[in-house]
Amino acid sequence: MQDQADQAQLVEDGDNEQPTDYVYYAKLALGLYFVLWVPGFLINAVYLAQALGEERRTGITPPGRNFLIYLLIGGMVIPVLGLCVLVIISMAQVGI
């Protein structure tokens, strides 16, 4: 009975907002990573900041937040590894 009263109070207060679904934004950032890295990174960072802020505000992890985190990690690690491979190949060709 108390749970129903609590739910009714939440509805009256307007605190029952559903978290934003960030899966679409993560897919958008993923697509931008393939086209141009910088816009993909910026979109990813902006929407990840929004998702983390919403999580702090509501206490609920919004859908797609982890996708944005993994995408940010992958978006940073893969270019760095690619650059390292290019440096190693060019050093091998030069004979260093």
Taking residues 85-96, report their average pLDDT. 89
**SS3 state at 82:** helix
Q: How much is the mean pLDDT over the chain? A: 84
* Residue whose structure tokens are 């390292």: 84
Q: What angle do CA 56, 60, 65 make, to 5 degrees?
A: 80
- Find the Cα–Cα–Cα–Cα dihedral 61, 18, 12, 58, rounded to 10°: 20
> Could you tell me the pLDDT band of residue 8, with boundaries at 50, 70 and 90?
very low
Q: Domain ranges in the chain? A: 20-94
Higher pLDDT, 41 or 16: 41
Predicted model pTM? 0.70
**SS3 state at 20:** coil
